[in-house]
Amino acid sequence: MKMTIKDVARMANVSISTVSRVINNSQTVNSEIRKRVLDVLEATQFRPNAIARTLVKNNTSLIGVLLPEIKNNVFDNMVEGINQVAHLYGFDVIIALSGGDADSEIHYYNMFREMQASGIIISVDGIRDALYALIEAAGIPCILVGRDFRDKSIPSVHVDNITAAFEAVTYLIQQGHQDIAMLRGAAGDISVGSQRFLGYEQALKAAHLPVRPERVLESGFSVEDGVTSMRKLYHSGPLPSAVFCATDRIAIGAMNFLTENGVKIPEQVSFLGFDDIDMATIIRPKLSTVRYSASELGMVAARNLIKLIKGEELAAVHWSISHQLEIRDSSVKHGVS
């Protein structure tokens, strides 16, 4: 069943180089012979061994994408963006899922490397030292996506989380809210949640409002985490008048919890999320949120990775893509009912 060029050559009564030439269209071949080869190729459904080809040509047209998970909508759109521009330039993209596990990240990074991938796009919430060192040591074109990695030297594409969060919270303040809680994601100084928290903090300070620790809840980034955090907040005293959430998923969980406990949204509590996932417009009330284009994130990453692969000069090392406030039904002026 498994054939080689040699087999094809024998069947078509030509040399292996001739077969290689017609497969790759690399040189003109006598049209009659060419046809003979083509026929065998068709009849046998032969496919050249890319492994062998890669070995001699010493380059692939493969882009590896390393993701923690795909449950998150954002990744899906991002991959779509990557796919789109990669295909434009003739690159194939393959994806590996790390599950957020550090060992797995290293494992798959090395797998891409061993597969001789031309470039790698990594989306991690916070990059760990070991991976970081590996990327630098390996020297394969690589772009980080997601968080603001401006403190690092590896190129990255991201949303300006701090500014976006600052603007979101400032909007809430302008709407008259003074007691604004934040449901941030995981703690630690490496995560998206931390950057969005920074923006929250700056906005409050700019408005001379106190940052009260008891109004800042730490958790994961999931719907369930939103429920948990909100439950804590709910049982710890009077409700804030607005809640800023590090992700839409957190916001959705939190809103569900409140609704089930008879709290009216947005009349009693306003909500603002981040990411603008599909669900944001599906739930009721529709979620006000910070929108950005995840597919643009992917496209910018892919485009620059390809430049890197081709050895072209990069215009910058870190790119941020734009964001907008998308005000919908989960937030209103303070005091409105």
Residue 115: CB minimum distance to DNA, A: 13
| C-alpha closest to that of 230 among 254, 202, 211, 194 | 254
Position 58 contacts DNA (CB under 7 A): yes
Residue 36: CB minimum distance to DNA, A: 9
For residues 25 and 50, the answer to whether their CB atoms sit within 8 Å is no
Residue 70: CB minimum distance to DNA, A: 32
Position 17 contacts DNA (CB under 7 A): yes
Position 56 contacts DNA (CB under 7 A): yes
Residue 121: CB minimum distance to its own copies, A: 14
Could you tell me where the beta strands, DSSP code E, fall in 107-241? Answer: 119-124, 142-146, 156-159, 180-183, 216-217
Position 49 contacts DNA (CB under 7 A): yes
Residue 40: CB minimum distance to its own copies, A: 14
Residue 180, sorted as left (phi over 0), alpha (psi -120 to 50) or beta, turns out to be beta
Burial of 139 from C-beta contacts in 10 A (0-12 / 13-18 / 19+): exposed
Name the residue nearer to DNA (CB basis): 59 or 236: 59
Q: Side-chain half-sphere of 231: how many Cα atoms within 13 Å?
A: 10
Q: Residue from 10, 16, 92, 179 that binds DNA (CB under 7 A)? A: 16
Position 48 contacts DNA (CB under 7 A): yes
User: Does the N-terminal peptide bond of residue 141 adopt cis geometry, omega within 30 degrees of 0?
Assistant: no
Binding characters for DNA, 214-253, by CB under 7 A (x = yes): ----------------------------------------
Sequence-distant (6+) residues with CB within 8 A of 42 are: none
**Number of residues binding to DNA, judged by CB under 7 A:** 28
Cα–Cα dist 85/148, whole Å: 22
Position 195 contacts DNA (CB under 7 A): no
Q: Give 275's strand partners.
A: 291
Q: Give 216's strand partners.
A: 182
The site partner of 16 among its own copies, DNA, none (C-beta below 5 to 8 Å per kind) is DNA
Position 110 contacts DNA (CB under 7 A): no
Position 45 contacts DNA (CB under 7 A): no
Position 15 contacts DNA (CB under 7 A): yes
| C-alpha closest to that of 182 among 219, 216, 228 | 216
Position 6 contacts DNA (CB under 7 A): yes
Task: Report the interface residues with DNA, using CB under 7 A.
Answer: 4-6, 14-18, 20-21, 23-24, 26-30, 32-34, 48-49, 52-53, 55-58
